[in-house]
């Protein structure tokens, strides 16, 4: 696999992962009530704890996308 192919691959991975992050964040914000009820019943968690877990999930996912997709993509763009 050439550097150009790897750069293109990481670029598309970044786009897809950022789109997933945005969609999930919009769903969590717009459908907060029903999502809290469903997850609260499924996992037996309180609303405050679920809100913290949602925020933590979004933060970890965003960090992973930046570290594993964007940073290597930018480094390869600089190298090429």
pLDDT band (50, 70, 90) for residue 1: confident
Both structure tokens of 18: 């950022």
Task: Look at residue 71 in the predicted model and tell me its pLDDT.
Answer: 97
Both structure tokens of 8: 């293109």
Predicted TM-score (pTM) of the model is 0.85
pLDDT in tens, 14-24: 999 999 999 99
Distances (CA, A) of 77 to 28, 30, 53, 72, 74: 34, 36, 35, 9, 5
pLDDT in tens, 41-53: 999 999 999 999 9
Task: Look at residue 75 in the predicted model and tell me its pLDDT.
Answer: 95
């Amino acid at each position: 696999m050439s550097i150009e192919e790897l750069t293109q691959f990481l670029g598309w991975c970044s786009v897809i992962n950022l789109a997933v992050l945005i969609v999930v964040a919009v769903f969590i914000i717009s459908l907060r009530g029903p999502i809290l009820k469903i997850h609260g019943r499924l996992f037996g968690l309180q609303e405050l704890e679920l809100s913290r877990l949602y925020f933590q999930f979004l933060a970890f996912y965003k960090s992973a996308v930046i570290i594993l997709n964007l940073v290597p993509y930018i480094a390869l763009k600089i190298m090429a």
